[in-house]
Amino acid sequence: MSSTGNLLITNLHQIVQIVDDGDTAFLAGKDMSSIKVLESKSNDLAILSTDGLIKFIGPKSNLPTDVIELPTLATIDACGGSVIPGLVDGHSHPVFAGDRVHEFAMKLAGATYMEVQAAGGGIHFTTTKTREATKAALVADFKKIATEMIKNGTTTLEAKSGYGLEWETELKMLEAIQEVADLHTIEVSATFCGAHAVPRGSTEAKQAEVIVSHMIPELVKLKSAGKLNSLENIDVFCEKNVFELESSKKILKAGKDAGLAVNFHADELSALGGAELGAEIGARAMSHLEEISEKGIAAMAKAGTVATLLPSTAFMLRLTPPPARAMIDAGVIIALGSDFNPNAYCLSMPTIMHLACVNFRMSMPEALVAATLNSAHSLGRGNTHGAITVGRVADLIVLTAANWEHIIYRLAAQCSVINTVVKAGNVVYQHS
Ligand SMILES: [Zn+2]
């Protein structure tokens, strides 16, 4: 496989650009339905990438001849297939030890997330296992997961800490994320989520204090020293009886003041007013929002904060879905994430898009925008990733199907329609 970032893809029926310029960082409202798609009856479309960036899109006959002769140019014959941007997973918890398959039975029998947690399971189970695990074991597991994600078309991933809750394990998790970011082909935007839950033996106020006065300053010091380059975001599980508004605000503001982007869990299980808080403090993104209020929707639309919706969690926990249609109508920028974690074990963004269409009543173009350009925007990459335009990073998925909608339509069989995954102009996965 080539690693020069020089790649020519030919014989395409469709190129799903999403937008056709580098300036548009997101789409909202009605614009989410009108994506830019190039189509050729004679399947003569081509994409050229040089040094990892998109250089040319259009009919092959218009290709600049000098670049076709590049000695290091890799080629793909798409045989009349289509191409979409690499998928961007806006929310995941991919670093943990131990699975929670045993709890799935409890949940099927009707136990809620909070009831499982009260019975000694849930996040505290994962926290115990993750504290016991070595960093090498966490890295090895995350690498396998990242490889599966790439196979499913994810080229950029938001990845959280949050199963340590104390300093040593939170740092171990962020270092594990950094190792995978350095070694693996997947691109990672790491998030410090030391306020994922209140650790046993502590209180909400005590945990908020230790995060603000110790953990955030130490992490930012490591980042400045070049040791945690992937660390970009600060997160809190803002929820009734977990981190309520006051302590959430304190932690998020401390993270923001230290240079991290605010991107947090809000209004999942109760309408606490997390959406309003995020809008007020200039959050870049908020996730979940199953219980968002009308005021919260208006505040997010006005502030331009991205709503990262998580269809697999709402599906598996049988939560009322977030009001995605009302949010789109109000002009809120909608993104999608897998929320991959031991409680909701789904890493496939094509499946996430399918669930968004069926359960959140989004159209296929809306789901694709949310899983590409808008989730790139939720990670500060809306001008460089998430669309196929000249100058953007060449993150691409070549599909065997002539029409791109098959990536959503074929539930749980999307892998068979993914022919090749390209990260920064290099082939990182090829269906055999
Ligand atoms: Zn989450």
Same domain, 100 and 46: no
For residue 147, being part of any structural domain is answered with yes
Q: Does one domain contain both 78 and 171?
A: no
Question: How remote is the CA of residue 288 from the centroid of ligand 1, in Å?
Answer: 8
Q: How far, in Å, from the CA of 383 to the mean position of ligand 1? A: 25
91 and 74 in a single domain? The answer is: no
pLDDT of residue 71: 73
pLDDT digits (tens, 9 = 90+) for 217-244: 999 999 999 999 999 999 999 999 999 9
Distance 316 CA to ligand 1 centre (A): 13
Q: What are phi and psi of 372, to 5 degrees?
A: -130, -90
Q: Same domain for 14 and 50?
A: yes
Q: Given a cut of 70, is residue 295 above it in pLDDT?
A: yes
pLDDT surpassing 90 at residue 180: yes
Place 22 in a pLDDT band, splitting at 50, 70 and 90.
Answer: confident
58 in the same domain as 92: no
The tens digit of pLDDT for each residue in 100-127 reads 998 888 888 888 877 887 887 888 899 9
Determine the distance separating the centroid of ligand 1 and the alpha carbon of 397, expressed in angstroms. Answer: 26
274: in domain? yes
**Which pLDDT score, from 0 to 100, does residue 68 have?**
66
Determine the distance separating the centroid of ligand 1 and the alpha carbon of 34, expressed in angstroms.
Answer: 30
- Please write the tens of the pLDDT for every residue from 305-325: 999 999 999 898 888 999 999
Half-sphere exposure of 184 (CA within 13 A, CB side): 27
1, part of any domain: no
Gap from CA of 287 to ligand 1 centroid (Å): 7
Find the 340 Cα to ligand 1 centroid distance in Å: 8
Specify the 3-state DSSP secondary structure of 80.
strand
- How far apart are alpha carbons 16 and 389 in whole angstroms? 10
Distance 44 CA to ligand 1 centre (A): 42
State the residue range of the domain holding 229: 87-379
**Average pLDDT over all residues of the chain:** 95
Taking the C-alpha atoms of residue 341 and residue 125, their distance in angstroms, rounded to an integer, is: 13
Residue 377, pLDDT score: 98
Q: Are residues 409 and 333 in the same domain?
A: no
This prediction has a pTM of 0.97
How far apart are alpha carbons 211 and 149 in whole angstroms? 31
- List, for residues 162-173, the tens digit of each pLDDT value: 999 999 999 999
Q: 306 and 205: one domain?
A: yes
| 2 CA distance to ligand 1 middle (Å) | 35
Residue partners of 182: CB distance under 8 A and separation at least 6: none
DSSP 313: H
| 77 CA to centre of ligand 1 in angstroms | 39
| Domain-embedded: residue 164 | yes
Whether residue 2 has pLDDT greater than 60: no
The domain that holds 228 is classified in CATH as 3.20.20.140
The pairing of strands 7-18 and 36-39 is antiparallel
Same domain, 91 and 80: no
CA distance 412 to 168: 38
Q: Which of 356, 379, 402 is the last residue of a domain?
A: 379
Calculate how far, in angstroms, residue 76's C-alpha sits from the geometric centre of ligand 1: 37
**Among candidate residues 128, 207, 223, 123, the one with its CA nearest the CA of residue 171:** 223
Same domain, 147 and 202: yes
Residue 290 shares a structural domain with residue 420: no
Pairing relation of β-strands 285-288 and 306-309?
Answer: parallel
What separation in Å is there between the alpha carbon of 189 and the centre of ligand 1? 14
**Torsion angle of the four alpha carbons 358, 360, 365, 370, in this order, in degrees rounded to the nearest 10:** -130
pLDDT of 1 over the 70 cut: no
In a domain, residue 2? The reply is no
Establish if 142 belongs to a structural domain: yes
Q: How many domains does the chain have?
A: 2
Q: Cα of 45 to ligand 1 centre, how many Å?
A: 39
Which residues 6+ apart lie within 8 Å of 289 measured at CB? 266, 267, 268, 274, 275, 296, 307, 309, 322, 327
Shared domain check, 140 and 247: yes
Instruction: Please tell me the distance between residue 293's alpha carbon and the centre of ligand 1 in angstroms.
Output: 20
List CB-based neighbours of ion ligand 1 within 5 Å: 339
Return the percent helix, strand and coil in the chain, to nearest 5.
40, 25, 35
The pLDDT of residue 115 is 84
Q: Which two tokens stand for residue 347?
A: 């890493």
What separation in Å is there between the alpha carbon of 370 and the centre of ligand 1? 17
3-state secondary structure of 58: strand
Strand partners, 285: 263, 306
CATH code of 11's domain:
2.30.40.10
Percent of the chain with pLDDT over 70: 99
Q: What is the mean pLDDT of residues 267-286?
A: 96
Determine contact, residues 417/407, Cβ cutoff 8 Å.
yes
Q: How far apart are CA 356 and CA 350, in angstroms?
A: 10
**Ligand 1 centroid distance, CA of 92 (Å):** 6
Together in a domain, 199 and 304? yes
